[in-house]
Amino acid sequence: MKLIDLSHPLEHGQLNFPFDPKLSVLVHNTVSSIGYNITQLSMSTHQGTHLDAPFHFYDDGKTLDQMQLEQFYGACSIIDLAPGAFVQAKQELTIEMFEPHEDLFVAGARIIYRTGWDRMFGKPEFFSDFPTLTLEAAQWIADRQIGLLGMDTPTPSTDWKECHHILLKKGVEIVIVEGLTNLEKLPPEFVFCGFPLNIKGRDGSPIRAVAIVD
Amino acid sequence: MKLIDLSHPLEHGQLNFPFDPKLSVLVHNTVSSIGYNITQLSMSTHQGTHLDAPFHFYDDGKTLDQMQLEQFYGACSIIDLAPGAFVQAKQELTIEMFEPHEDLFVAGARIIYRTGWDRMFGKPEFFSDFPTLTLEAAQWIADRQIGLLGMDTPTPSTDWKECHHILLKKGVEIVIVEGLTNLEKLPPEFVFCGFPLNIKGRDGSPIRAVAIVD
């Protein structure tokens, strides 16, 4: 068994989307003062590698505590959209790029796609110039009723509102895992593990996403 | 395969140890204002169900990002110290209570013990009156070089400083998982999964601990 870390580390002041609360890693106390190091962590529920619950875009959508653990753990496939290379900045990800892999898109499937954009993590361009899923491709994916969609971009689409509405709406409710990394290290099939913190009543959670490879 | 949640949910204002930063779950923005719900989470790295890195008590100890993923995932055993009942408040957990299970304590083993104290979670007594590992028992466990020690109390011992020093010191470096729940639901053997957030350079992390049962 081999474990592959699919998560970016969390660091004080790390960039995220302009209107999101910033990540603060604050020394709360120290070994020399009271005997132990302890930290106050302040962050967005959508910081770094994280996942979205339907409540993120729908007030009547499921919150983290209303989701099943099985949605976050199990067999998963990777679709490499640019093997050995990178998808260009701002390039549209179209139905035609997913169609050759249509057999993977069965009900409940967990699917992650790789663009190579994780190499830009830490730069402002990571959040402005990422490859972007077309709304037609998002609808094509939603129609296939998969269970989880992961990616190495900070969000699936520049049409963020419409795209999230398509993927998270009642009856579709795909778990969206954003900001993954190391996807080029994955074999075609593996076990995905990315349990969210159980933040009652809320919209998303940073996760330590890990691939378990036999 | 069955998944069992071993974690308490996180809620605004949740109790923790007196000197630790408190958990705030803040509405940062909403669907009606900007189109999506997003939350600012402020918390201690030792809130609720969480794990300790050696740096928690040793300035030269390993931080989260210096630990191996394999330490947080794999075969695990449960020792029930009061099957069908509860260990009394403030009761000492002695070597004699662990000795009947000595065959489980092999190098690298992951072991969780149950006292039933998780039933007090949310009450101030959870943090003041918990059953407490004697320092002799902590040393007995450390001598056996296990890899992970989990429990349903908020910390292993009222002698917290000495106990953490024994368990986290260089060459011992046992991963301590505190504040577990639902341990009475576990079969004797299972796979423990509790990856921390990769907070660079720091001392611990809240986790979503899950048991994977075949």
A194-211 pLDDT per residue, tens: 999 999 999 999 999 999
The predicted model gives A185-191 an average pLDDT of 97
pLDDT for position B69: 98
Of B10, B164, B196, the CB nearest to A200: B10
Segments of chain B scoring below 50 in pLDDT: none
- Residue B21 DSSP one-character state: P
Name which of A198, A200, A210 to mutate to probe chain B: the one with the most chain B Cβ atoms within 10 A of its Cβ. Answer: A198
**CATH 2.20.25.190: does it fit domain A2-10+45-213?**
no
* Residues 6+ away with beta carbon under 8 Å from A118: A8, A152, A179, A180, A181, A182, A183
| pLDDT class of A12 with cuts at 50, 70, 90 | very high
ipTM of this predicted complex? Answer: 0.97
Q: Which residue of A has its CA nearest to B73?
A: A3
pLDDT for position A86: 98
pLDDT for position B121: 98
* Residues 6+ away with beta carbon under 8 Å from A171: none
Give yes or no for a contact between A144 and B19, defined as CB atoms under 8 angstroms apart.
no
Query: How are beta strands A110-114 and A73-80 bridged, if at all?
Result: parallel
Q: Do A199 and B25 touch (CB under 8 A)?
A: yes
| pLDDT class of A136 with cuts at 50, 70, 90 | very high
Find residues 48-77 of chain B whose CB sits inside 8 Å of chain A. 55-59, 65, 69-70, 73-74
* Residues 6+ away with beta carbon under 8 Å from B69: A3, A5, A210, B195
Q: Do B44 and A40 touch (CB under 8 A)?
A: yes
CA torsion, ordered A105, A188, B211, B48, to nearest 10 deg:
-90
pLDDT for position A142: 98
Q: Do B38 and A45 touch (CB under 8 A)?
A: yes
Say yes or no: A28 contacts chain B, CB-CB below 8 A. Answer: yes
Domain boundaries, chain B: 2-9+45-213
pLDDT for position A100: 98
Could you tell me the pTM of the whole model? Answer: 0.98
**CATH 2.60.40.10: does it fit domain B2-9+45-213?**
no
Distance CA A13, CA B213 (A): 39
